[in-house]
Structure 1
């Protein structure tokens, strides 16, 4: 047998001489693309495999997949030796190809590899390399560092062999792999390395390494060398050290997340001119289905959260059939019990099912999330699981439909904090598995790059297919892992591998564990505006209506809840009235704002009684007293002054042109008029440059009588509108009085501005 091998190698050596002579001919013909066959090993159709096939199909490669459906017995090649099963499969495939001398075989991995160029380019570069077999190269030696000194030295380029990429003429590739006689979990790279380090075989078979990444770019140890390069139709990676454009990008070892980042662009996923090139691939058209999928919605209240009633309202108004929605709510806060009770009473018959788990169950966040996900997992009729934290404000009623139609295993909508770069995803991870900013993070958050993005971490809101929960994520404890928070634990479980017992092991005590590739991709989409994240960090729950205090922390949500929907029309349509000279009347508060402010004052309860003696003010004496409570008494003075500057000052500039208010007021208070305590207010001037007077309840419903009369103009406004404000000059021209309240209770909010 040894003589036969020697004779065979000598024959190959002679063919090599002839081949070299031919290759030196400047008129050498390019190898036809139909003479290139790509062989890859994949035992399962993982997300990485599907991405590989998508890039291969884009360039029209001819692909033959080896091992599909087989059980993987090649070990955990991501963290230890293994991969022998790949060599065995390649050996079996090459037996039928060995006599095709003009066939070029490209053997590559599939789960962690992307094509960046086409067959013509790869064949041209292979011919230029002038080898019969060319292996990928890398700068780190694996798996046996003791072999380092046996490697041929190189003047420039990567020195060590990587087995994730092999290209060569079929007979020569066959001559290499036919030497395999080891086990499935032995190391494939060590096998190829020993052949390459055998100088006789290296020279006789004319084996080389792609030292400068002309064809193969291995990312391990080389991330700093590569740079994205955008073209009109596709994106490429440039190796900046060797100034080459690799055709095959391999995310070997611990660089798979960086490959996922590159895969968001390469080859045609996204570029500046065309935008997203793959976002519409494999989408589902819900309008073509006989019925909508069933969705389990998990809602999680894990800390005191402002605007919770608004969150629930947005959930109810999602544009999705309510009989296809099952609601699971975990509330970990006693403070929110009344919100849950109200939501339950209003919505328990709206949805298909409604389950609430309260703080009395004493569940951890991880346990609660496992419970919610488990409800979908064990229900074969559950098509999707939507997890939502209550700090997510969905402003897009189509969100659920959009996510389902994107047809991804795990996908979330991009939501950010207003005016900040804080979002519900990370574009990269640091070495210790925590946040790192990817190069494109800011552009994605700011929607300068729009698409569907493969990312390593998401939180707050995401949709998972029910079939994924019953297969790849069928374990029941995905939200608990070491000291990670629940969402980090889930994402790590989804990204990484999982152990499974070998099915055919006859003896449970001697079974060996199989590492099944999971590597699920998680996506975030910013193809639409979906909503925002609210801040829960400084939510003080000591007030009766604590949302009122969120004007600084969550200004957008505060405005949506408390500022009248017609307020902006003041500036776009001149939507205000002038019932008396220089008395302007305009909408400012919603009815909810009025009600909550009144409730807050009544909850505080210490009304002044309308006495002249008043220790709350400088001097201790009020000339024209009212039965009131000052904003400062309930700790709302800073918030009220901010309201004046944000929403009153712009109106002032509009109606009193040329006057620029400081938006400052010492006297800010809510007045209560009742027939039995104080029904009216005698004529007076206000100690202000101008005054605002906001009606907090409705005439005819809550009280009778009331209003305001301006003496100079003999003009009265006796039908105040709830949520509308008067604005009038204070000190000189507008002597006025509060008309008697004859029945019920009237509330107004007053500020003496620029005293």
Structure 2
């Protein structure tokens, strides 16, 4: 038996092969494919077949005397094509008959994948095999001939004992044991290349997550490349306050090096520092798993990446398959991998943004981030594929998440505040009160009822409150507090306040999303039986109370089913006085902590007034929900 080497997987043993060979009743069996190569002019000389009709020399099996006669039929030179040599013998009817040669045209033994990837699937056996669905066979020799090697690598995640249904990955155990002492001198030396190629939402948290990695900083060298200046101040703070803890720091910018050259320079720096590993980290990647470096190093792969995704989306840092042009295609198991329904270490054709490379991969032959017009990550991965270096993505643990920077508008004041749609997870980590989730756990003191049917609870973080106030003051278009209000459909406000509507600062869609995601669950929790999704609100505004402007608000009903009143700054610190007095209940709520919300019925039962602010400035956010 002969097979090609680096692009072949066996899924059975010699007894399986012999059994299938004998059933084919031939002295020599060659694998078959759907393309006539290398001489397409010979196509019409092939006998008709109800399967794949063209010979492929990447796999054949037969009795030794028959193979010897075929191989020595005529002389062949080193530079001659072996497939053409065997093809000419097969196409000679007399030789084909006398030597009893046949093609495995239904993939009984040999499965050539080129042009036939759609014919195969993974079986559901305990140890998966390849099924040829076109012919109902289970081939044993799987050959990734031609451009089908990406498909072969994908199948290899399951074949030859790599996977067992019911148990999962059988080859994903740690191959290297690292010491548990994070200051151990035995820990490998790692160079980290941090690339900030665009203005990126939640960059502060990106740096914080990196700084908090549980890996000895004296074993980490840093290379930072700035493609934009937007984050320079935060980087300056990082350099002044923490960079000295690392073994080395080199910082450069697009003024010095273009992105592709900077990425190659990072690898050079790694080798100059006698590194063991290189970690690429783009600013869109938040590594929240503090042990991620130890985890990846222990897996001992030449190129491995932690799986990270945009939260709530199927967008990740890897591709499971490629189109014929080399661009994104979804593999058969992509959704199972990103959803965590299958856990393992996956051989994939493309990885970007975050990955760990062994220094030995590029110490003798440098890696290049250039390949035609491809972007640097795509170019690197294509070059790796051409060098036969496998790339793996690991989803064995939760490692972090990806930021979506596509619509980040840095012209706005606090642009991160506007990112609730595109980056909800990161947005909530920064802007939702740390005790918000305890509302639904009945933790004592988290959900209060200071007045009948008036509920008081933590909702927004201090940063939320500060940023919203600063957005409003930066806009500066406070209403004059009179009944005349051109912003309203009728132009008249019955109970006017000095305010700015969320619509005026471009935040109304985001605020309605906030009401749906974070206020509606509380409303349903406290007002049992009332359900309206999504909540509607056409009046969403920040009110400013000052003794010299508008210190208070007369008694009124709100035009709402229920009202949210969110305190944005701190009583007793930023202002004195203020609060809400519910007249029918003869009950007041004062000194509301910053970020705490009041939820109360609007139209009928809760006639109320705004108490006088006696000094300072009081800010509140108000929504009339379901008017």
* Equivalence for 1:526: 395
Scaled by the length of structure 1, what TM-score is found? 0.74
Aligned partner of residue 142 in structure 1, secondary structure: coil
> 179-188 vs 598-607, which deviates more?
179-188
Q: 2:591 aligns with which of 719, 722, 725?
A: 719
* Equivalence for 1:489: 379
Q: 2:108 aligns with which of 207, 210, 214?
A: 214
Deviation at 1:675, TM superposition (A): 5.0
C-alpha distance in 1 between matches for 2:225 and 2:331: 33
Per-residue deviation, residues 393-425 of structure 1 (Å, max 9, x unmatched):
333333332222222111222222333322222
C-alpha distance in 1 between matches for 2:133 and 2:503: 63
Q: 1:752 aligns with which of 621, 624, 627?
A: 624
Question: How many pairs align?
Answer: 620
Deviation at 1:430, TM superposition (A): 1.3
Scaled by the length of structure 2, what TM-score is found? 0.88
Unaligned regions of 5+ residues in structure 2, if any? Answer: none
Deviation at 1:602, TM superposition (A): 2.3
Q: Is the 8 A contact 2:552 2:578 kept in 1?
A: no
Deviation at 1:369, TM superposition (A): 2.5
Shift of the 531–146 alpha-carbon distance from structure 1 to 2, 3 Å rule, reads same
C-alpha distance in 2 between matches for 1:448 and 1:713: 53
C-alpha distance in 2 between matches for 1:731 and 1:155: 81
Shift of the 737–119 alpha-carbon distance from structure 1 to 2, 3 Å rule, reads same
C-alpha distance in 1 between matches for 2:535 and 2:41: 76
* Equivalence for 1:358: 253
Q: 2:176 aligns with which of 284, 298, 308?
A: 284
Q: 1:237 aligns with which of 104, 108, 130?
A: 130
> 432-441 vs 157-166, which deviates more?
157-166
C-alpha distance in 1 between matches for 2:260 and 2:254: 14
Q: Is the 8 A contact 2:128 2:165 kept in 1?
A: no
Per-residue deviation, residues 241-287 of structure 1 (Å, max 9, x unmatched):
4433222111112221121122122122224323212222x622223
Q: 2:423 aligns with which of 554, 558, 565?
A: 554
C-alpha distance in 2 between matches for 1:754 and 1:197: 80
C-alpha distance in 1 between matches for 2:524 and 2:50: 71
C-alpha distance in 1 between matches for 2:193 and 2:577: 50
For the pair 1:384 / 2:274, whether they are aligned, the reply is no
Deviation at 1:148, TM superposition (A): 5.4
Q: Is the 8 A contact 2:309 2:317 kept in 1?
A: yes
Q: Is the 8 A contact 1:686 1:752 kept in 2?
A: no
Shift of the 735–349 alpha-carbon distance from structure 1 to 2, 3 Å rule, reads farther
C-alpha distance in 1 between matches for 2:78 and 2:364: 25
What's the RMSD between the two structures over aligned residues? 3.2
C-alpha distance in 2 between matches for 1:647 and 1:630: 20
Alignment of structure 1 residues 141-540 onto 2, 5 Å: 141-145=36-40, 153=47, 156-170=50-64, 173=67, 184-193=78-87, 209-232=103-126, 234-280=127-173, 283-287=175-179, 291-361=186-256, 363-376=257-270, 378-472=271-365, 474-475=366-367, 478-496=368-386, 518-540=387-409
Shift of the 209–691 alpha-carbon distance from structure 1 to 2, 3 Å rule, reads closer
* Equivalence for 2:525: 654
Q: 1:588 aligns with which of 436, 459, 468?
A: 459
C-alpha distance in 1 between matches for 2:50 and 2:503: 74
Per-residue deviation, residues 603-637 of structure 1 (Å, max 9, x unmatched):
22344465566544566665655443332322222
Unaligned regions of 5+ residues in structure 1, if any? Answer: 1-105, 497-517
Shift of the 720–134 alpha-carbon distance from structure 1 to 2, 3 Å rule, reads same
Larger radius of gyration: 1
C-alpha distance in 2 between matches for 1:445 and 1:739: 52
C-alpha distance in 2 between matches for 1:644 and 1:240: 50
Per-residue deviation, residues 475-531 of structure 1 (Å, max 9, x unmatched):
4xx2222121221111110001xxxxxxxxxxxxxxxxxxxxx21111122222233
C-alpha distance in 1 between matches for 2:244 and 2:273: 23
Alignment of structure 1 residues 40-55 onto 2, 5 Å: none
Q: Is the 8 A contact 1:108 1:164 kept in 2?
A: yes
Per-residue deviation, residues 512-562 of structure 1 (Å, max 9, x unmatched):
xxxxxx211111222222333332222222211011111222222222221
Q: Is the 8 A contact 1:324 1:352 kept in 2?
A: yes
Aligned partner of residue 136 in structure 1, secondary structure: strand
